[in-house]
Amino acid sequence: MKKWLSNAVSAVFWIALWECVHLAVGENILVPSPLSVLERLGGFCTEGSFWISLFVSLFRVLSGLVLGTVLGAVLAVLTAKSNLFRSLFSPALHVIKATPVASFIILAILWLSVENVPVFTAMLIVLPTVWANTEKGILSVDKDLLQMGRAFRLSEKEIFFRITLPTVKPFFAAALNSAVGMAWKAGIAAEVICPKGNSIGSALHDSKIYFETVDTFAWTAAVVILSVLLEKAVLWLTAKGGLKNGRI
């Protein structure tokens, strides 16, 4: 109850501050009022194209998230188990982490179709986070426990599920929870830079071109709401699957 009340007070404070800025500026084209944005968002909800755009963007981001997670986990296993693979792939990890998202988007436009650019961008942003955290989890597995498991003649499968996996799970869950937000931001940014068809990024791009500031704020609000819901869903899934605390 206290947490809910605290969140409510915080929300009221920021909305009130937003309204004060709107009144001080006095120009709806610069800073629209919270009420006008809410009304526009409500109008969007009655339009079929709005829901299509949400679905298209969500599908692209989730596709990139899944691809980046799988590839990052595979690379983590390879680099944690082999010094050769670590020497080969570690520079790529540092390059990906250091390169701005916009650079990846521009390069992806040259290599891929416009529809696949958001997927590629989201995947590339997710990959190093999952890779680094999962590798850290694998390297933190207690060697004494592994030796004890072999001393008790546990099979490699039993050692994996009883010792290795519970240790790695919290690291993987933390990476996944962080990657969701990053994938969402990167995917939408890619759609804004290379807009095509129905998508959130295309709508944001069009609203900017035509100076429809209320629409820009409304679409941004939709992005924030969907991002929060997506992160909550991932948190629920990780807790449900026992990833959060390492349960089997």
- Please state the CATH superfamily assignment of the domain spanning residues 32-240 in this structure: MetI-like (1.10.3720.10)
| pLDDT score recorded for residue 98 | 80
Q: Say which residue, 150 or 215, is predicted with more confidence.
A: 215
pTM confidence score: 0.83
Q: What is the Cα–Cα distance from 220 to 90, expressed in whole angstroms?
A: 36
pLDDT of residue 102: 82
Which of 1-10, 102-111, 121-130, 191-200 shows the lowest mean pLDDT across its residues? 1-10
User: Is 33's pLDDT higher than 70?
Assistant: yes
pLDDT at residue 248 is higher than 50: no
pLDDT of residue 70: 93
Looking at residue 138, what is its pLDDT?
A: 86
Average pLDDT value for residue range 150-169: 79
Instruction: Answer yes or no: is pLDDT of 246 > 70.
Output: no
184 pLDDT above the threshold of 60: yes
Over the Cα atoms of the chain, what is R_g?
Answer: 22
Return mean pLDDT, the chain. Answer: 84
